Structure 1
Amino acid sequence: MTGRGGTALLAAPAAVPDTPPRAHGGRALGLLRTARPRQWVKNVLVLAAPAAAGRLGSWQTGARLALVFALFTAAASAVYLLNDARDAEADRAHPAKCRRPVASGQVSTALATGTGILLGLGSATAAALLCGPLTAALLVAYLGMQVAYCVRLKHVLVVDLAVVATGFLMRAMIGGVALGIPLSRWFLITTGFGALFMVAAKRYSEAVQMEGAEGATRALLTQYTTGYLRFVWQLAAGTAVLGYCLWALEAGPVATSLPWRQLSVVAFVLGVLRYAVFADRGTAGAPEDVVLRDRPLAVIGLAWVTLYGMSVAGL
């Protein structure tokens, strides 16, 4: 429709660009968001082996563990940057992931890739120079495994679960390796299967929530059944509890008034049972969210830390 002089009164609607929404903030902020600061809490696991061995009482130990924490955080951030750069196209088609800095265009793919490579190489080099060859080897192994996961292994049934759980286990190992602490086989079994329990519980929750939906947040979820994932997290939980019990009972006699290490089994089992409530409901999301947001689980965790700490202190 036109008015006097042929001027258009009604213009055709402007075409809506088929691009994801651009996130607010500069490139530096975008890089920080891509590095997943919320995930850094997982790296507190570097304290696991030193705490279990009662080796947290000196400034030298604290400084070394702070360095290891920083290096592992840099390595994990490198993996997140490389992963988002690789998956940018797929993330743009996802309703939530399209807002990630790389997918939205806030951070270029080249910048994310370059920053990830620099962080990975820098963390490995610093570990070799400041922490020793074994620590550096473990960090390099973590980086190699995670890059392989991003490229291929996350599409392989069962292997994807094992790789993610092993990432947690490596976090728990590296603190002991950096301080030269011998790692008990029961410590490794408990930590490894405890990690598998949480990973499988998260996958199970994702599978339950996507039932009847049009798509999956993880393509591999369509190849798992909820029954199988339930079996995995139940098996892993049982193995972790068994490993912890054997670990607690194997400890040699200590001159304490009460068997605090053995009593800590009660708190550990209660913690597993409480976490399993969320797994069974299909609401066990990211492990750090479950642990930090559930007050009863936090209280149980504090009770376990107290009992185990009293054992280590020989009270």
Structure 2
Amino acid sequence: MGEPTTLTAPARPAPYPLRTAYGLLRTARPRQWVKNLLVVAAPAAAGRLADPRTLLQLAAVFVLFTAASAAVYLVNDARDAEADRAHPGKRRRPVAAGEVPVPLAYAAGALLATAAVSGAALACNPMTATLITAYLLMQLAYCLRLKHVLVVDLAVVATGFLMRAMVGGVALAIPLSRWFLITTGFGALFMVAAKRYSEAVQPAGRDGRTRALLTEYTAGYLRFVWQLAAGGAVLGYCLWALEGGGAASAGTLLPWRQLSMAAFLLGVLRYAVFADRGAAGAPEDVVLRDRPLAVIGLAWLAVYAMAVTGL
């Protein structure tokens, strides 16, 4: 007789509540949360990151804005569930695939939105709650209508990035300079237009399967927008850097503000390589995976820190 056979029980799927919870987490787009790190932009520009209390409050702002953005993703996927089921890629999204019921997605989105606004009012200040409310209303309008309006869709998405960069300063009552707003606004438009351009020139984008509005744009127009925005971001940054003059300030060894222009320009040029290739469809992947861009970013951070702290 042969040796006894050991029977292995087939793997059972996770219980329904666990599958639903995991589906809700996936719908909240954890990979997109890295964008919310922009909440540190204004405090960093003001040289306020050395204070532990500031870092603690920024962590709270990050969580609140992440909740707000997750609420938008949940509502968007619930509203587009039927259309997503006919899409070759989006049909795998948890709401479209039936892992998360549509009413539950709406309810979770409403709960997160309420928590984000209430938390901002309690943990920060009324202006922070107002800004997050404005973000939610704008993004919901985008989901319902504005994503189908030429040019406005680009402006809304870019403004969402700008609001992320503003909210940290608003929460800490840090005045936002005109150069900060100009550079951040044009930089956001640069990345958004580059993303749309990449989607338009890819095979999946030419027949409108990725975004219906892409059939209304031409690749040449989107290229013009991201090039114009890149120039505006560089010009705004250079005007900020040159505002302090061309010499080192008292107590500093070198004119760090002016020297930071070189790293900033290199970063824009490096990102533009991917935009020009049509490979900037996922900005977070470009920023996190390209080593030369990461090195340039670290160099810029070091020189900018010297400029802000006056070393």
Equivalent positions of 1:240-259 (< 5 A) are 240-251=233-244, 253-259=249-255
How far did residue 24 of structure 1 move? 12
Partner-residue secondary structure (3-state), 1:307: helix
**Cα separation, partners in 2 of 1:214 and 1:128, compared to 1, 3 Å:** same
Q: How far apart in 2 are the matches of 1:196 and 1:255?
A: 37
How far did residue 250 of structure 1 move? 1.2
Contact 1:82 1:116 in 2 (8 A): yes
Contact 1:210 1:216 in 2 (8 A): no
How far did residue 255 of structure 1 move? 2.6
How far did residue 214 of structure 1 move? 4.1
Alignment partner of 2:214 out of 199, 211, 221: 221
Any stretches of 5+ residues in structure 2 without a counterpart? 1-15
Alignment partner of 2:22 out of 17, 29, 32: 29
Alignment partner of 1:197 out of 190, 203, 226: 190
Partner-residue secondary structure (3-state), 1:285: coil
TM-score between the two structures when normalised by the length of structure 1: 0.90
Alignment partner of 2:52 out of 46, 59, 65: 59
Match of 2:101 in 1: 108
Alignment partner of 1:301 out of 273, 293, 297: 297
Aligned residues: 293
Q: Which amino acid aligns with 1:268?
A: F
Percent identity over the alignment?
Answer: 75
How far did residue 80 of structure 1 move? 0.3
Q: How far apart in 2 are the matches of 1:238 and 1:222?
A: 26
Equivalent positions of 1:267-282 (< 5 A) are 267-282=263-278
The Cα offsets for residues 158-202 of structure 1, whole Å up to 9 and x where unpaired, read as 000000000000000000011111101011000000000000000
Q: Which amino acid aligns with 1:122?
A: A
Match of 1:82 in 2: 75
Partner-residue secondary structure (3-state), 2:95: helix
Any stretches of 5+ residues in structure 1 without a counterpart? 1-22
TM-score between the two structures when normalised by the length of structure 2: 0.92
Contact 1:138 1:174 in 2 (8 A): yes
Q: How far apart in 2 are the matches of 1:55 and 1:249?
A: 22
Partner-residue secondary structure (3-state), 1:51: helix
Contact 1:24 1:106 in 2 (8 A): no
The Cα offsets for residues 91-120 of structure 1, whole Å up to 9 and x where unpaired, read as 001111100000000000000000000100
Q: Which amino acid aligns with 1:97?
A: K
Alignment partner of 1:161 out of 154, 171, 179: 154
Match of 1:7 in 2: none
Partner-residue secondary structure (3-state), 1:103: coil
Aligned-pair Cα RMSD in Å? 1.5
The Cα offsets for residues 15-58 of structure 1, whole Å up to 9 and x where unpaired, read as xxxxxxxx996100000000000000000000000001000111
Between 125-134 and 34-43, the greater mean CA deviation after superposition: 125-134
Greater Rg by CA: 1
Partner-residue secondary structure (3-state), 2:96: helix
Q: How far apart in 2 are the matches of 1:251 and 1:61?
A: 26
Q: How far apart in 1 are the matches of 2:213 and 2:77?
A: 18
Equivalent positions of 1:278-293 (< 5 A) are 278-293=274-289
Q: Which amino acid aligns with 1:220?
A: L
Contact 2:24 2:105 in 1 (8 A): yes
Match of 2:119 in 1: 126
Contact 1:190 1:239 in 2 (8 A): yes
